[in-house]
């Protein structure tokens, strides 16, 4: 017997399995789900604290929050697209205002920041496309669907951030050897504040939605916007330095910010790279294991695998159960399925297999 709870936008390839009523019989059970259960999960994270922890959380935020996650794939994708649309228009609006002030002040530093913010706004486009692709049904070539496009978009975002940091460093070094005068400095300060405010609003929004739907790529784009906001602050500090009679303040700060972007980008690179390698946060595995082990009738969980596909989870598990009639085993697997869904709202598919001997599972 197969149990399926299908999402309207997701195809399902029906699982096939045989039942062997020998002493060590096995039972396989594949499913997807859509149960909007309210729940809370307590879990510990090992992350830096104090000042280090503050900056860690600022630039390397969590990419998941099981208590607030959305358990419907279509709704998660819809919220992701909405976040990209809103943030795209916010950044474009910020760019227009900054460009207008550039025309008044003639600040090359401000022009560079304006171009930077415009290119950052455009990084929403590939991620937008990835969310749309993720809604497509699976095909014979892509039997798991197109959710992985989201992580590829994350790689593109990383490349854009790295490139922008290199360009900013190049411009800053050039300006260090060839200083250029600034005019209407208070307008430049105002433009820097506009750039910082616009990017920080976008960063908070993208990171919040990215964490809610479990999208590492959207969180990475949010971190990108936050870094750009601090780049805009650097324009302000440079202008203030020029006001105080230190014209080299602008290029020096630009170099420091460029280096900081590269260092802080490493956390995002690890996050996206881990997902492309089917890496998973250990605490998510712990939650799933505890949920399965707490199911009445389950003796142990000798095998458990989870992986991210875009912002959704897929996995497989082998459950060690007592030798019992097939109907009882089905009941145990259904209960284990429900517990796993409650523990991991992002879970789209978990293939469960029951064995009556812990040595019977595949290694």
| pLDDT per residue as tens digits for the range 22-47 | 344 444 444 444 443 444 444 444 44
Q: What is the pLDDT of residue 16?
A: 37
Q: What is the DSSP letter of 277?
A: T
Q: What is the pLDDT of residue 324?
A: 85
- Phi then psi for 238, rounded to 5 degrees? -65, -40
| pLDDT per residue as tens digits for the range 60-116 | 454 444 333 444 455 666 777 888 888 888 888 888 988 888 888 777 667 777 877
CATH number for the region 64-276 comes to 1.20.1510.10
Between 183 and 122, whose confidence is greater?
A: 122
Phi/psi-derived region of residue 187, left when phi > 0, alpha when psi is between -120 and 50, beta in every other case: alpha
Band (pLDDT 50/70/90 cuts) for residue 353 is very high
Strand order, beta sheet including 347-355: 26-29, 347-355, 312-321, 298-309
363 CA to centre of own chain: 31
* Residue 356 CB partners (closer than 8 Å, separation 6+): 23, 24, 25, 26, 320, 321, 322, 323
Q: Which residue matches tokens 């994708």?
A: 77
Q: What is the CA radius of gyration of the chain?
A: 25
Which regions of the chain does DSSP assign to beta strands (E)? 26-29, 298-309, 312-321, 347-355
Q: What is the CB-side half-sphere exposure of residue 193 using CA atoms within 13 A?
A: 7
What pTM value is reported for the model?
Answer: 0.63
Q: What is the pLDDT of residue 42?
A: 41
49 CA to centre of own chain: 22
Burial annotation 252-275 (CB, 10 A radius, 16+ → b, else e): bbbbebbebbeebbeebeebbebb
* Residue 191 CB partners (closer than 8 Å, separation 6+): 97, 98, 101, 102, 105, 107, 110, 113, 114, 232, 235
When pLDDT is averaged across residues 173-201 and rounded to a whole number, the result is 82
Domain boundaries, the chain: 26-40+281-360, 64-276
- Please write down the HEC assignment for all residues of 111-141: HHHHHHHHHHHHCHHHHHHHHHHHCCCCCCC
Topology adopted by domain 26-40+281-360 = Alpha-Beta Plaits (3.30.70)
Nearest Cα neighbor of 284 from 319, 315, 258 is: 315
Q: 303 pLDDT exceeds 90?
A: yes
């Amino acid at each position: 017997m197969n149990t399926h709870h299908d999402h309207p936008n997701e195809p399902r390839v029906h699982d096939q399995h045989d039942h062997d009523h020998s002493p060590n019989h096995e039972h396989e059970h594949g499913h997807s789900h859509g149960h909007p259960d309210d729940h809370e999960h307590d879990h510990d994270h090992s992350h830096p604290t104090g000042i280090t922890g503050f900056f860690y959380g600022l630039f390397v935020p969590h990419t998941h929050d099981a208590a607030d996650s959305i358990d419907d794939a279509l709704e998660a994708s819809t919220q992701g697209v909405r976040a990209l649309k809103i943030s795209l228009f916010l950044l474009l609006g910020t760019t227009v205002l900054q460009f207008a002030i550039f025309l008044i002040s003639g600040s090359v530093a401000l022009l560079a920041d304006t171009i930077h913010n415009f290119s950052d706004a455009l990084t929403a486009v590939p991620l937008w496309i990835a969310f749309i692709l993720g809604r497509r049904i699976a095909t014979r070539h892509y039997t798991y669907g197109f959710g992985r496009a989201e992580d590829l978009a994350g790689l593109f975002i990383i490349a854009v951030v790295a490139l922008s940091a290199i360009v900013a460093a190049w411009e800053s070094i050039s300006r260090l050897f060839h200083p250029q005068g600034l005019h209407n400095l208070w307008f430049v300060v105002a433009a820097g504040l506009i750039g910082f405010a616009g990017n920080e609003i976008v960063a908070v929004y993208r990171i919040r939605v990215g964490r809610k739907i479990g999208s590492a790529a959207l969180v990475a784009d949010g971190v990108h916007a936050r870094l750009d906001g601090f780049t805009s602050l650097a324009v302000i500090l440079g202008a203030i330095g020029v006001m105080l009679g230190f014209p080299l303040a602008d290029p020096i700060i630009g170099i420091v910010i460029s280096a900081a972007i590269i260092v802080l980008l490493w956390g995002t690179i690890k996050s996206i790279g881990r997902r492309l390698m089917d890496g998973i946060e250990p605490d998510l595995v712990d939650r799933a294991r505890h949920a399965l082990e707490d199911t009445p009738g389950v003796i142990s969980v000798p095998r458990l695998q989870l992986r991210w596909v875009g912002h959704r989870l897929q996995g497989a598990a082998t459950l060690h159960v007592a030798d019992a009639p097939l109907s009882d085993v089905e009941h145990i697997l259904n209960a284990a399925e429900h517990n796993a869904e409650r523990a991991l709202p992002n879970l789209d598919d978990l293939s469960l297999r029951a064995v009556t001997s812990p040595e019977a599972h595949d290694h």
